[in-house]
Chain A
Amino acid sequence: MKFKTEIDITINKFIGKKGVLIPLLQNVQDIEGFLSKEVMSYVSEKTGIKLAHIYGVATFYTMFRLKPQGRHIIRVCKGTACHVSDANSIMKEINNQLDLTNEEDTTKDGKFTVMQVACLGCCSLAPVIMIDENTYGKLTPDSIGKILKRYE
């Protein structure tokens, strides 16, 4: 297993404390970028939490990912204010530029993963996207290309 040492350190930080499964999985996911079957089994083995329970939690919350993801995460806001400001055209343009279909969300070169999120809370700047930690507002489809070029 890759990153075994890091994963061990993370698990040891949480072991024995109550109600820590979600932050534990969040921390483990940060190491590899997603939760593989192997990692989930390993967490189960180490903590004694049943694998079914871990899988149940991992599939319930949208922030857990079971597939590898790109180096940069693009979060496209689909909140009400963005929806009425035509967020769909932004989504379409991003998929268009990155050559993605609706079924796929990660580019072939592993550079970007695109996901829709409910609301980023910057409604006055709608439509909004967030790439990693940076938020971009008042977008038009024309502005997308320039923003994506900033990321390597």
Chain B
Amino acid sequence: MSLVIKVGLASCGLAAGAGEVYEAILKHIKKNKIDAEVKKTACIGMCFVEPLVEIYEEEKKSITYGDVTPENIGNIIDAFYKGNPIEENVIISNVFKGSENKTYKKQKRIVLRNCGIIDPVSINDYLGKNGYKALEKSVKEMSREDIINEIKDSGLRGRGGAGFPTGLKWQFAYNAKSEKKYIVCNADEGDPGAFMDRSVLEGDPHSVIEGMIIGAYAIGADEGYIYCRAEYPLAIKHLNIAIEQATEKGFLGNNIFGSDFNFELHIKEGAGAFVCGEETALMASIEGKRGMPSIRPPFPAQSGLWGKPTNINNVETFANIAWIILNGAKEYAKYGTEKSKGTKVFALAGKIRNSGLIEVPMGMSLKEVIYGVGGGMKTERPFKGVQLGGPSGGCLPAELLDTIVDYDSINKTGAIMGSGGMVVMDTSTCMVDIAKFFLNFTQNESCGKCTFCRIGTKRMLEILTRISDGNGKMEDLDTLEELSNNIIKSSLCGLGQTAPNPVLTTLKYFRDEYIAHIKDKKCPAGVCTSLLKYEVIEDKCIGCTVCAMKCPVNCISGERKQVHKIDQDACIKCGACYDACKFDAIKKG
């Protein structure tokens, strides 16, 4: 028998050791003369059990194993080869009951349709999955208006966060009269805690490129840019290969599919500035300037890159296009809610069991996403909150878990859908600390153009720092709200307009925690070090001296077999004693 063995080699897999597993497989099959084709693929989204290896003889009877190591892969392959596959570590399978079969079926994969299935650097793999068929249909059978109407009818909205209808955006760019137009893909995924775009670019770069070419044809652009952050070297590598292949096959270049449509595509690497995710700042950066946002109007559709009409969409938006053209707007609009159609990709991270990438139909409740698809909490501690939308979003408490996932429902809570980062937190996370964390981020990343964003966020960060140090006053909470509202009103771009959201939502849903910091001088989660105190519980201490040996500042005293004591003035609250004590004799609070 002849086997196919696929290894997930995206950034997340590589970090988990998939590279070593790949080498071990090659060695093993060579040594044991096993007839197998070893293929590379990217991320199927189940990062929590990486490295992942899929094995099959016929594709219908495949088994995906998780937590694979160079040591156990030999046995897995041998057993499969002998027709007696191992049942341990099975993640997805249509032979056995895979542990994730059920949660996998709850997803609807449109954007991620090929991720973790095809070899991302093989254009033939992509062509085998109807690749570039949508482009052919667009150019040969559809008029520009037809394409725009199809996208409008599908109800697709911008997946970068703001949710502007994509078809309408294309219409504006199409309407603009100009000899030269540009199309741009925003791949500057800067939200900490979000990695959807990275996975799509690494795992299926052609789907994004095909979406861009169709968009360019529809609006009448002949040149395009993919603006990708430099922190994603593998995504950039795969994009470069894909562009070269598409050019070779004639999907890029002159007279595409024998028409008079020409299109040239470039990659621009970002240089590390979060604000460049904002479209006017992104264009400034492509032009080689400081990435500072500019006032709108004029909108990019009228005057964008180098003053020419420009259409900008996000990676995930473009990855939807080919599917919509091939399957029709009606089919796409079957999924989702009245005003938010289709599916959304989420990056699940934090204290969730199945961390990784998922794609679900809009309209699913947060509870279903976190507990149904995400497998619930990773730790024994209870759920405390979920952070949506990164630094522009907000933290929602357990009471709001019935909120459904669509643009409008999430906006009502004060958070935003954002690009799709979902960080789950348990009771070990302090909400004041999280608000401070995000403010620190936006304050650092503020480009400095607008006074309220530049100075306002700084003042807010100072207040939050004061509160977490135990020096806060109750009036501070009102000041935070007042500053927030003014920053929202007086900032030019999305960064400033949304920067206060993490503070506003935590103030709204976790106000008690702020009050505990201010009035009781306590951090209920035990995170804010200034408010922490480590004490020896006398009844439990047996005098083993381990804590005293571990203490980096030698502030724990006591004789062997005697109760120890911590000198509170000298203690730096590092927690080394707390972690070291085997008898739970150190109290943190």
Q: Which residues of A51-94 have CB atoms within 8 Å of chain B's CB atoms?
A: 53, 56-57, 60-64, 78-85
Q: A121-B11, A124-B355, A125-B12 are in contact. Are A80 and B271 (CB under 8 A)?
A: no
Q: Give the complex CA separation of A78 and B428 in angstroms.
A: 17
A121 engages B198 (CB within 8 Å): yes
Cβ-defined contact, A61 with B356, below 8 A? no
B285 and A80 within 8 A (CB): no
Q: Does A148 contact B (CB under 8 A)?
A: no
A110 vs B216: C-alpha distance when bound (angstroms): 48
| A82, B387: Cα distance in complex, Å | 13
Bitwise interface map of A from 75 to 117 toward B, beta carbon under 8 Å scored 1, else 0: 0001111111100000000000000000000000000000001
User: Range of interface residues on chain B?
Assistant: 35 or more
Residues of B within 8 A of A144 (CB): none
Residues 178-218 (chain B) with a chain A CB within 8 angstroms = 189-195, 198
Most buried by A among B12, B16, B271, B423: B271
Pair B231/A64 contact, Cβ less than 8 Å: no
Residues of the B chain whose Cβ atoms lie less than 8 Å from the Cβ of A21? 288-289
Q: Is the CB of B47 within 8 A of A83?
A: no
> Is there an interface contact between B273 and A60, defined as CB atoms closer than 8 Å?
yes
Hey, which chain A residues are within 8 Å of B98, CB to CB?
Answer: none
A1-21 contacts to B, CB under 8 A, are: 18-21
Q: Give the shortest distance, in Å, between A37 (CB) and chain B (any CB).
A: 19
B562 to chain A, nearest CB (A): 29
A60 to B274, CA, bound (A): 11
Which single member of A63, A82, A119 contacts B190 (CB below 8 Å)?
A: A119
Name 21 A/B residue pairs within 8 A (Cβ), A-sorted.
A19-B287, A22-B269, A57-B288, A57-B290, A60-B290, A62-B272, A78-B192, A80-B192, A81-B355, A84-B351, A84-B425, A85-B350, A119-B195, A123-B47, A123-B193, A123-B347, A123-B423, A124-B349, A126-B349, A135-B14, A136-B15
Known: A61-B273, A79-B193, A122-B15. 19 other contacts (CB 8 A): A19-B306, A26-B230, A53-B289, A57-B289, A61-B291, A78-B192, A81-B423, A83-B434, A83-B437, A118-B190, A123-B193, A123-B347, A123-B350, A123-B421, A124-B12, A124-B355, A126-B349, A137-B12, A137-B15
Residues on A lying within 8 angstroms of B by beta carbon are 18-23, 25-26, 53, 56-57, 60-64, 78-85, 117-126, 128, 133, 135-137
